[in-house]
Structure 1
C-alpha cells in the first residue's frame, strides 16, 4: 500500500511530459483540437489534486502540526522560490493567473507527507516510467509515425544524422534530459545498492535515444558525468569490469563526437548554423531583458513567452519559443529581481542537499543536480508548468532528497 502511494504519484507526474506532447499546439496530433487539449490538461490537474488530497487524508493518523515539522530546509527553500512566480501573477507588468504554481506547491508538500519507503524502490519507479514510456515508447513511435516523432531534415546535426528524435516528449532536448536521468540512476543505482541491477539492453536503448535526440548540452553533460564516474569507479572498484568498460566506452564515444565536430571545420559549422548565438537563444534573451525592464522588481508576469506573446515576436525571431531558454532569464523576465533572489537561495539549498547526501548515494545526488543545473543554462529547469518535463525531473530529485532525509533521521 505504501509503495503504491509513491508509485502512483510518480506515474501521474511522469506522464505529464507526454500529455504536453499531446496538447502543445506545435506537437499535438491533428485530431486534437484546442478544446480537447485544454480539457485533457484540466483532467490531469484534477486527478493530481485529488490524489494529493487523498494522501493528506491518509496521513491524518498523525497530527498535522507534527507532520508539518517534517518539512525540511529544501521544502522551505522551494516555497521561497515559488514566491517569485506567485507574486508576479499579481504584481507583474501583465498580471495573469497560473494554476501550475499551486499544483506544484501541493505536489512538493505532499512528498513530505508520504510514508517512508526504501530509496531503491523510488529509483525503480522512476526508471520504469523513464525507460518504458519515453525510451521504448519513443522508438516505437518513431517506427509507427516517423514524421510526428522526429524532425527528418534536421540541419543542425553534428554526427552526420539528419534525424532529430523528440518521440513522446514535445522536444528533443526534453527527451534527452529524461534519458540521461535514467542512465545516471542506472549506473549510480548499482553503486548505491547491490539490489539494483543494470539492464544492459535498457541502458543501450537510452543511449540510442540520446544520440538520436541530438541535444548538445546533454551530450556534454553525459561526457562529463561518465568521465567522473569512470575515474570514481576505477579508484573504488577495479574488479567491476562491466561498469568500467561501459563508462569508458560511453566516455570515449562522446569524446569522439566532439572530435568529429573539430574535423568538420567547427568554425564554419558554427557560423552556418548560428551556433555562436546558441541557435537563436541570445536573441530570445535580449527580448526577455526588454520585457523585464517593463517591471524590474516583479518582471513581466506569468504570460512571458506564452503562445500569444510568442506569436507577436514571430516576425522578428522567425520561430516561436515557448520560454526564455534559460532558467536565469526565464526567472528574471517572469518574476524580476524579486524572483531571481529567491531562485538563487533555492539553488544554494539544492546544491547543499546534493553535497549532504553525496556520500550515502555514492555521488548520485551530485551528478543529478549537476545535469539539471547544466540544463538550466539553455532551458528553464524550475519553470512554473507541471507539463514541462523539467518539473518531472525536479520532482524526482526532490523526492529522492526527501526520502534520504527521512532515512537519515531514522538512523540518527
Structure 2
C-alpha cells in the first residue's frame, strides 16, 4: 500500500506524543535544570526511529509523483493549475523558507542544520499527499491532539509534581489560580508551548463539523489544560473561538474584526517601542525595556539594526550568543518572544519579506475558507497571529515536538480542499430565457394576419 498524507500525519502526531514524556522540561529560571544530553540509549533510539520513519514517508510522498512522471513520460512536476486552491500558501511558505536559508548562508553567524529542514519536508509532504476531505482530516487532527492533551492531563497523576507543573517561585513564574501548583506543562517542555496547542485543540473540538457525542468531554479537557497553563498569550488566543460562529448576524462583526486585526497586527508585531509602552501601561513598570519580554525584543531589534539585510543568523539567542550577551548560557532568553522580531533579528529583511508573504497568504486563505470550515480556518490563523506577538512559534521546526504539531495542525486545515473545492466549479444555471444564438421559438398559436 502506497503511503499517503493520512499515514504521515498519524506517524508524526502519535510519534510526537510518544516521545514527549522522554524529553526534559525547561523552565523560566536562570539556571538550567537539565545539563545532560536530552536523550540517550533506548530513548534516543526510539526518537530517532520515529523521526526517521516520518522523514521516509515524507520523502516518498514528495518523490513519488516525480518517479511516476518519469516512468510514464508525463511531466515530472505538476502544472500550476494542478497545484490546488492553496497554491499561494505553499508558495509563500517556500519563500519564507528560502529567505531564511539565503540569510543563513550569507549572514555572519550563518549555518544550516540538516534537522532544520524536518518541518519544511513535513509541511511540503502534507501539502502534496493529503487528499482527505475536510471532515475526515478534522477528525484525524482531533484524535492526535486528544492524545497529547489527555496524555498531559494524565501526567498530573503519574509524573512528579515538579515535572507536570512549573512550580511558582521566581519572578517569571505565576500562580494566578492560587492552587500552589504553578503553571501546567504536561507533555510539553514549557507552559507557553502547551497553552497554544490546547487552544488549537479546543477550537478543533468546538468546530461544528463531524462532531461525535463525546466532543464536550474532549473540549472540557482541552479547556482545562488551557486554563492550567496560565499562559496569558494562550488565554488571549483562545478568544479566536468567537470566529467559529458562522451565523449571518455575526458576519459583519467578524469581517470588521478581521480588517481591524489585519491593520493593527503589523503595528503591534513590528514596533518594539509600542511593545514597551504596552508593558509599561499594563504592569506600571517604567523601565520596561529591562523587564520580561521587553529585553528580548530590544536585543533582537539591536541585532537587526547591526545586520539589517541578513540578520545575526539562525543561531540568534543560542547558548553561544547568550554567553556573548550575558556572560552565561544559563539565561531565560532563548528566543525573541516575537516571531516578527525574531525573524528580523535572525534573517534580516530577507526573512521578514518571506514571513510577511506567509502571513498574508494565510490570512487570504482563511478568509476564503472560513465559511466552508465553519470559521475554523479564520480562528486558527487568529490564534497563530496572537501567538506570534509574544512567542516565535515558526522558529526551529525540527523533530517531533509540540511546536511542530502546533504548526502542522494549522497548516493542514488551511491547505486541505474544502467540500466546494472538491466538487470543482459548478456550471452556471441555464436561464429560462432563450439565448440570442438559439433559434426563435415558434408561437403556439398562429397570429392572424
For the criterion TM > 0.5, the same-fold answer is yes
Q: 1:157 aligns with which of 163, 175, 178?
A: 175
Answer yes or no: is the 8 Å Cα contact 2:244–2:376 preserved in 1.
no
Match of residue 187 from structure 1: 206
Alignment equivalent of 1:397, drawn from 385, 406, 410: 410
Alpha-carbon offset, residue 226 of structure 1: 3.9
Instruction: Compute the displacement of 1:113 (Å).
Output: 2.4
Q: CA deviation at 1:196?
A: 4.8
Superposed CA deviations along residues 249-287 of structure 1, whole A, max 9, x for unmatched, are: xxxxxxxxxxxxxxxxx9999358x99569611101111
Deviations 1:95-122 (A, max 9, x none): 2122244333322221232151121221
Cα pair distance change 1:20/1:119, threshold 3 Å = same
Residues 357 and 404, structure 1, Cα contact 8 Å, conserved in 2 = no
Q: In the alignment, which residue of structure 1 is the partner of 2:156? A: 142
Residue aligned with 2:417, SS: helix
1:91 and 2:103 correspond: no
Correspondences of 1:3-14 after superposition (within 5 Å): 5-13=5-13
Q: CA deviation at 1:88?
A: 2.2
Q: What are the within-5 Å matches in structure 2 for residues 77-226 of structure 1? A: 77-133=92-148, 135-144=149-158, 145-153=160-168, 155-162=173-180, 163-188=182-207, 190=208, 193-194=209-210, 196-197=212-213, 199-222=215-238, 224-226=239-241
How many equivalent pairs are there?
Answer: 376
Instruction: Report deviation, 1:352.
Output: 0.2
Partner Cα distance (2:101, 2:417) in 1: 29
TM-score (norm 2): 0.73
Q: 1:42 deviation in Å?
A: 4.8
Query: How many Å separate the matches in 2 of 1:77 and 1:42?
Result: 30
Contact kept, 8 Å, 1:77 with 1:345, in 2: the verdict is yes
* Larger CA deviation: 42-51 vs 30-39: 30-39
* Counterpart among 347, 364, 371 of residue 335 in structure 1: 347
Question: Displacement of 1:153 after TM fit?
Answer: 2.1
Higher helix proportion (structure 1 or 2): 1
**SS in structure 1 at match of 2:136:** helix
Q: Residue 90 of structure 1 aligns to a residue in which SS? A: helix
Instruction: Name the residue aligned to 1:357.
Output: 369
What is the CA-CA distance between 1:235 and the residue it aligns to? 5.0
Aligned with 1:281 (options 282, 289, 293) = 293
What is the CA deviation profile of residues 147-202 of structure 1, one whole-angstrom value per residue up to 9, with x for unaligned ones? 111122255233323321111001101111111111111111x2xx3555552222
Kept after mapping to 1: 8 A contact 2:166/2:183:
yes
Contact residue 116 and residue 406 of structure 1 kept, 8 A: no
The Cα offsets for residues 302-351 of structure 1, whole Å up to 9 and x where unpaired, read as 11111332344445898322211110111001100111112111111110
Change in CA separation of 1:283 and 1:57 when aligned onto 2, cut-off 3 Å:
closer
Change (3 A) 1:18 1:298: farther
Cα distance in structure 2, aligned partners of 1:24 and 1:308: 21
> SS of 1:65's equivalent?
coil
State how far apart, in whole Å, the 1-side matches of 2:155 and 2:95 are. 40
Counting only pairs closer than 5 Å after superposition, residues 301-316 of structure 1 correspond to structure 2 as 301-314=313-326
**Radius of gyration: which is bigger?**
2
1:19 CA displacement: 4.2
* Contact 1:17 1:169 (C-alpha < 8 Å) held by counterparts: no
Structure 2 stretches lacking a partner, 5+ long: 251-278, 426-449
Question: Can you give the 5+ residue segments of structure 1 that lack an aligned partner in the other structure?
Answer: 237-265
Cα distance in 1 for partners of 2:290, 2:248 equals: 35
Of 402-411 and 92-101, deviating more is: 402-411
SS for the counterpart of 2:201 is: helix
Q: CA RMSD, aligned part only?
A: 3.5
Note the C-alpha offset of 1:209. 0.9
CA distance in 2, matches of 1:44, 1:340: 33
Distance (whole Å) between structure 2 residues aligned to residue 152 and residue 10 of structure 1: 33
Name the TM-score, length of structure 1 as normaliser.
0.79
Whether the 8 Å contact between 1:96 and 1:301 is mirrored in structure 2 is: yes
Counterpart of 2:78 in 1: which secondary structure? helix
In structure 2, do the counterparts of structure 1 residues 16 and 277 end up closer, same or farther at CA, with 3 Å as the change threshold? Answer: farther
**TM-superposed deviation, 1:58:** 4.8
Match of 2:37 in 1: 33
CA distance in 1, matches of 2:414, 2:377: 8
